[in-house]
Amino acid sequence: MEHILETNKLRKEYPEFVLDDIDWKVPKGYVMGLIGPNGAGKTTTIKLIMNLIKADGGYVKVFGFDNIQDEKQIKNKIGYVGEEQYFYEHQSAKWTGEFVSHFYDKWDKARYQSLLEQFEIPLKKRIRKFSKGMKVKLSLAIALSHNPELIMLDEPTSGLDPIIRRDVIDFLKTFTEENDKTVILSSHITDDISRISDYITYMINGRIVMNESKDELLSDWKKIHFTPESLDKSIIDKLERVESQMFGSSGLTKNYLAIRDALAPGVASGDIKVESVGLDDILIALVKGD
Amino acid sequence: MLRLMKKFSFWYILYPVLLLVFGLPMFNHDRLTGPDPLSLSFAIYLAPMIWLVLGAMWSHEQMESKANGYAFLRILPIEPALIVKAKFAMLFVAVAIYVAGCCIAFAFVSTNPEYLIPSSAYVIVYGAICLVVAALLYLGIFRHGFSRFGKYILIAWVVLLTSPIPIRILILKPRGISDSEIMQFFRGPYWIIGTTACLMGYYLLMKLAVKKLYERHA
């Protein structure tokens, strides 16, 4: 599989936080969701990739190029939307588009205007009068108007109301499906990631703890509801976050395929129930188990 | 780089132009039409006003800081070195506008090289020193950020603008050094050497500023 981005032993040390030797590969042409609780190191990782902060160790290769030596060339092919949107706020969306167009080799003015129309962004209004949602959409319009090969979105929906959040995610879903782009979407809102991602990376306390395809992840992780007598103790011991409730117990397995056969009789008799889990259940299990 | 320079140009053009528009007529008609058509004192009073160009720098950086301009530019495919070079280039343009404006005004008043050359040289040297001081202040901004370092630009601005008065009262007057004697220095080749040294220093400081901006990422 071809990888569009690769980090090797990437390290950043802060007084109270260490991003610890991150080895990460992002496959080309897919949407990679980067999930983690606040302070896990998602933004630090993305800023290191964008060369917005300096690494203390390791390297980043994007499109096969070094992200520091070939920064300009790489940024020409990346569409970036950060958690905070920075613009010259006394200027308009029209001015901003014209200004940034000079720095990108493949700026598509027609696409920019079309995206602004689609997002209902006024051309001549000063950006400082925009709402947070409008600024995110303007950022997206800029990020997508120079035909980027890689789109990096760092918590783009953070702080948005549910309606605009859904708008943005739906737009991204359609856009990525239609244009076959590689996307890295970082968020602690697992619902957003779940809707559009092909691959999932979990990051906790400055480390990558899991990196798998979403389908495999969701087929591996299941919630098992059981009565103590219906399930062998050796299997119960392998479950995580086992909780006893009034009508039985439940626990998470991260290797459902390995125990599926053993569960089959209990499932057939109705003593055992297997439930699909969400990405947030997995995140909580990983955080608690970390 | 021209695009960035254009973006940065507003304050850097406005300040020197305003200086020239309001500064030059401050000198009364008698001085210009007296027996000494281009009084050397004219240059001595006019040159220190170049420190007002630091105001352009302060206004520009305050606006950039407010707008998070550096954060915005760093997302774009622009090398940080280019941002620094564009700012230094605009600073040079601002100083050049004022210096050129003064020299043209001098030439307009007198064509006598006895007065014209030292007067122009005096303003040119002042401009070159101003560039070095501004470059040092830029180093401070790139090292510490405008929010922490901006106040030092204002302090430097006030101190440098008012400095000719104490220099005159405390140093020149007690030693009996007249304007003509000061200007003697600007008749020889020393001012060319001094200006060249300042410009080289300015270039080296620009290189250092690029390094400081990179380090600031850490």
| B75–A54 C-beta distance less than 8 A | no
Question: A99 contacts in B (CB within 8 Å)?
Answer: 3, 7
Report whether pLDDT(B30) > 50: no
In a shared domain, residues A126 and A24: yes
Domain endpoint, select from A179, A213, A247:
A213
Mean of pLDDT values over A153-160: 81
In a shared domain, residues A36 and A161: yes
3-state secondary structure of A11: strand
What is the tens place of the pLDDT at every residue in A168-206?
Answer: 788 888 877 777 788 999 988 888 888 888 999 999 989
In a shared domain, residues A121 and A262: no
Burial of B3 (0-12, 13-18, 19+ CB in 10 A): middle
What is the tens place of the pLDDT at every residue in A45-99?
Answer: 999 999 888 889 999 999 999 988 898 899 999 999 988 888 888 889 999 999 9
- Chain A residues 59-88 within an 8 A CB cutoff of chain B: 71-76, 80, 82, 84, 86-88
Q: Considering its fold, how many domains does chain A have in total? A: 2
| B69–A88 C-beta distance less than 8 A | yes
Amino acid at B51: W
What is the tens place of the pLDDT at every residue in A12-41?
Answer: 999 889 998 889 999 988 899 999 888 889
Owning domain of residue A44:
3-213
In a shared domain, residues A209 and A229: no
Q: Closest Cα to residue A53, out of B147, B82, B74? A: B74
What is the tens place of the pLDDT at every residue in B140-172?
Answer: 888 887 888 888 888 888 888 777 777 777 777
Question: B214 contacts in A (CB within 8 Å)?
Answer: 54
- Which residue(s) pair with A6 in the sheet? A25, A61
Instruction: Name the more confident of A74 and B47.
Output: A74
Instruction: Round to whole Å and give the CA distance between A59 and B59.
Output: 38
- What angle is formed at CA A88 by the lines to CA A83 and CA A90, rounded to 5 degrees? 125
In a shared domain, residues A139 and A162: yes
pLDDT at A53: 86
| A87–B76 C-beta distance less than 8 A | no
Question: A88 contacts in B (CB within 8 Å)?
Answer: 67, 69, 72
What is the tens place of the pLDDT at every residue in A227-241?
Answer: 877 777 777 777 877
| Structural domain spans, chain B | 40-216
In a shared domain, residues A67 and A152: yes
In a shared domain, residues A167 and A263: no
- The number of residues making up chain A comes to 290
In a shared domain, residues A48 and A183: yes
- The number of residues making up chain B comes to 218
Residue A122 carries which DSSP code?
A: -
Domain endpoint, select from A213, A248, A265:
A213
pLDDT at B205: 92
**Exposed e or buried b per residue across A237-272, where buried means at least 16 C-beta atoms within 10 angstroms of its C-beta:** eebeeeeeeeebbbbbbbebeebeeebeebeeeebb
In a shared domain, residues A250 and A285: yes
Instruction: Round to whole Å and give the CA distance between B213 and B86.
Output: 13
CATH of the domain at A174: 3.40.50.300
Q: Nearest CA to CA, how far is B6 from chain A (Å)?
A: 10
Domain endpoint, select from A191, A213, A235:
A213
Tokens of B191: 């001012």
Q: Closest Cα to residue A17, out of A46, A42, A51? A: A42
**Cα A10 versus chain centre, distance:** 18
In a shared domain, residues A139 and A260: no
In a shared domain, residues A207 and A239: no
In a shared domain, residues A201 and A60: yes
pLDDT at B217: 56
| A52–B75 C-beta distance less than 8 A | yes
Chains A, B: CB contacts under 8 A, how many? 51
Q: What is the pTM of this model?
A: 0.80
